[in-house]
A and B are shown apart, each in its own frame.
Chain A
Amino acid sequence: MNSKFSTKETWLMAALLALLAGLPAGCDQDGVKVYKVADQDSSAATPPTATAPAGMTAPAAGDQSAAPQLKWTLPDGWSQKAAGEMRLASFSAPGKDGQLVDISIVPLPGLAGGDLNNVNRWRGQVGLNPVQETDLAGLAKTISVGDAPAPLYDQAGTPPGAGVKTRILAVALHRPDMMWFFKATGDDDSIGLQKANFIAWLKSIQFVATAADLPAGHPDIDAQATPAPALAAGAPDAGAAPALPTWTIPAAWQSQAPSAMLLAKFTATENGQAAEVTVSSFPGDVGGLLANINRWRRQVALAPLADADLAQAVTPLTTAAGQASVVDITGTDAKTSQPARLVGVILPLNGQSWFYKFMGDATVIDHQKADFLNFVQSAKY
């Protein structure tokens, strides 16, 4: 075929065209996203602005917010009022000659423009001229919001046309994805009366975690900061709330409140020594029998088993719900470095894996292993 271009030139032009065609296509990332979000996550607010209930302490935000909650102790004479606008909470405090001091909490995303913009905004509100970044440090007095240090800006002046000297106490607390503004506004004398209370109130403030958005079908998550049991990566130790079986609990066992990931927890004690029974359940085989037995082996500081050794390490246990596998191992508790024994039962049932673990003092387990296995067998799912 006759061509005006050589093969090399054709290749080069093809490369150039591909580059030119690819650039705009690749640069076009302006896509509108459409998706469904289950439950309350429809458009969870970034800064929480829920109205805080009356009382001495109040949560900062509704369940929709992933932001921390606040707790505080109100000083005497302060009263809470409707939050409104961008405020998380609003309060009134008595001032001089029947005047009131207005106190507010406003959380904003990011660092909300930085301290300089905000200080100058407050200065504008009391009729003062703006300052430069270098002047900020001289204006700030460090106080505590809870345990965190934060700058307090005390600005007073007479706004044009006001005739009365107005004063603003404002604190900007930087947190990683939220900036919290605590502000008291009133006439100069009233603010002077309430300044000590304002600082004491800030000191009483605590941030508390909340529950947040979860994927569809996600198990509930305890909003409280509950330490989870020590887990080895790769396999869970405790599960997410399927229906609890009914079972016969040995009389000597004491029921304990299960932590967030457990379905049930009991303690068996003898002569001051103790062992703990935990029950959990997860969908699927959670890594399989070998992975879970090796996880338990790591908890008592034993080397993992090879696949070939698995058959020797487990004994079968017949339960009403099906055949389970039992492992009985003795070693050293990886957390406490004390001698420990672990009897574990794994029962696959209806697409779930049930984990029963009896771990602790070897003598207690020796005496009560039969009770433990009876307990497992008694479970009705």
Chain B
Amino acid sequence: MPLTRLIKFFASLRLTVVLLGLGIVLIFSGTIAQVHLGLYKAQNEFFRSFIVFWQPDNVAWKIPVLPGGYLLGGLLLLNLVAAHTERFSLTRKKAGIWIIHMGLILLLVGQLLTDMLAHESTLHLRVGEARNYSESERAYELVVSDVTDSKAAQIVAIPERLLQKQGTVSPAALPFSVRVLTYDLNSALTNQAADGYDPVKVTGGRGTDGFWLKSIPRETVMDLRDLPSAIIEIVTPQGSGGTWFVSAYIGTPQSFTWQKHTYELLLRPERFYRPYSLRLEEFKHDVYKGTDVPKNFSSRLLLNRPETGEHREVLIYMNNPLRYAGETFYQASFDPDDQGTVLQVVHNPSWLTPYLACILVGTGLVVQFLSHLVPFLKRRRAP
């Protein structure tokens, strides 16, 4: 029966060995690729993909060369589950193996969840400054704000993931659609004609000031950030509301009016808002006496949460992050004048899974070892 053969194939130990071998090749090549692609691009192309492609220079086609991380991880998970249904039976003798494998399954599922649910952002604060949001280091969002009510603006934030598809976005909160005509993930902008730059042609807003735009490759260096630009069209039920140029280079919102409401457009780093703020009270950069060698970086912050009345100081320093409300704030960097701090904010709902998985695997190893050791010792003692 074909299904039985299929299950046998997925449950086979040979498949495990092949997958683990391919995993080693993938990790090695993905690590080497970071030299040229940079961390984020290499992660996306090798580990957050089903197939790794190779594209020769100056051609449009790509060749699949390796299974990607998603495919390998998924197949390993399937292989393990299939092996359990096909080969392993739950007996006392095999209890350790079962626990180890449950740990491995949890590890694989946990990493998938981390990949899907976790996000990182940064919070930059100068001394005396407070913020209730952090910003993505990589991703941008197009913000359409209804600022008619001067006391509370309604924000509609369209993530870059949607913008780069260059389609039409129709959020229910807006009485019009936003059609993305062009979206450059990284761009160079100038205010005079230059070689390789195309004039920006739009009907409204800052884009009419006279800009020349060039699409450039995405940044691969860790410290550098892409600066995207887009041309969008506001599409109302009555027709086009004009085309607009939005760009990370244009830091001020561009406003327009529709049906007596005033809206503002802005392309900015994606923001993650919180119901509390952190204010930087003090940043310390200690060095070993007589040297410039850093000894400690620490940020003393005031956490303020009006809804609960929480109002307390927290201290973040290296290896001592703040864990609060499901997020972790790490000391990541600081301003050159020591008057500002940069915190890395990690939101990872499945952060516990690797710990639990390791505990399971460790427990399984001990159980399996003991399940052999104890009978062995008993046999030795027997006359």
Contact = CB atoms under 8 A, between A and B. Distances in A.
Interface stretch (A93-101, A186-194, A209-217, A367-375): A209-217
Interface stretch (B17-25, B309-317, B368-376): B309-317
A228 B280 CA distance: 10
Given A39-B152, A214-B277, A228-B281, A9 B309 contact: no
B88 to A, nearest CB: 11
A36 B155 contact: yes
A15 interface: yes
A219 B126 CA distance: 18
Given A12-B82, A108-B249, A124-B195, A176 B124 contact: yes
B337 A211 contact: no
A227 B313 CA distance: 12
Interface string A274-300: 000000001110100000000000000
B198 interface: no
A222 B171 contact: no
Given A32-B157, A36-B154, A46-B251, A239 B277 contact: no
B311 A240 contact: yes
Given A209-B129, A215-B277, A46 B216 contact: no
Contact of A217 (B116, B264, B281, B306): B306
Interface string A140-184: 000000111000000000000000000000000001110000000
B324 to A, nearest CB: 12
Nearest to B112: A26
A2 interface: no
Given A176-B342, A225-B127, A32 B158 contact: yes
A219 B306 CA distance: 8
Contact of B127 (A121, A209, A282): A209
Interface in B295-315: 302, 304-309, 311-315
Contact of A29 (B81, B85, B116, B190): B116
B366 interface: no
A286 B309 contact: yes
A11 B85 contact: yes
Given A117-B216, A207-B337, A235-B312, A42 B264 contact: yes
- Which of A26, A27, A39, A86 has the most chain B CB atoms closer than 10 A to its own CB? A86
B130 A109 contact: no
B96 interface: no
A27 B48 CA distance: 11
A23 B112 CA distance: 9
Interface string B222-257: 011111000000000000000000001111110000
A12 B225 contact: no
Interface in B176-194: 186, 188, 190-192, 194
B162 A30 contact: yes
A33 interface: yes
B151 A38 contact: yes
A62 B155 CA distance: 20
A141 B117 CA distance: 45
B155 A34 contact: yes
A22 B305 CA distance: 36
B173 interface: yes
Contacts of A334: none
Contacts of B225: 109-112
Contact of A68 (B126, B194, B306, B312): B126
Nearest to A179: B225
A56 interface: no
Contact of B188 (A121, A234, A235, A284): A121
Given A42-B264, A45-B253, A37 B81 contact: no
A32 B315 CA distance: 34
A198 to B, nearest CB: 21
Contacts of A233: 312-315
Kindly state the interface size class of chain B when it binds its partner: 35 or more
A90 to B, nearest CB: 12
Interface residues of A, number: 86
B285 interface: no
Interface in B270-286: 273-277, 279, 281-282
A8 interface: yes
Given A8-B86, A177-B122, A45 B153 contact: no
Interface string B130-150: 111101000001010101000
A334 B268 CA distance: 45
B227 A114 contact: no
Given A29-B116, A228-B281, A284-B308, A86 B128 contact: no
Given A8-B86, A176-B333, A219-B306, A42 B153 contact: yes
A223 B335 contact: no
A121 B194 contact: yes
B321 interface: no
A42 B147 contact: yes
A119 to B, nearest CB: 12
Contacts of A337: none
A221 interface: yes
Contacts of B141: 33
A19 B122 contact: no
Contacts of B276: 215
14 contacts: A9-B4, A12-B85, A15-B81, A34-B155, A35-B154, A35-B155, A42-B145, A45-B266, A45-B268, A46-B269, A110-B248, A215-B274, A218-B277, A233-B312
Which are the 4 A-B pairs with shortest beta-carbon distances?
A: A110-B225, A42-B153, A284-B309, A209-B126
Interface of A: 5, 8-9, 11-12, 15-16, 19, 23, 26-27, 29-39, 41-43, 45-50, 66, 68, 85-86, 107-114, 117, 121, 124-125, 146-148, 175-177, 207, 209-219, 221-228, 231-236, 239-240, 261, 282-284, 286
Interface of B: 3-4, 7, 10, 70, 74, 77-78, 81-82, 85-86, 112-113, 116-117, 122, 124, 126-133, 135, 141, 143, 145, 147, 151-159, 161-162, 169, 171, 173, 186, 188, 190-192, 194-195, 206, 209, 216, 219, 221, 223-227, 248-253, 264, 266, 268-269, 273-277, 279, 281-282, 302, 304-309, 311-315, 333-337, 339-340, 342
Given A30-B161, A207-B335, A209-B129, 14 more contacts: A5-B3, A15-B81, A26-B116, A36-B153, A38-B152, A86-B250, A86-B251, A176-B335, A213-B133, A214-B132, A215-B276, A219-B304, A225-B127, A282-B309
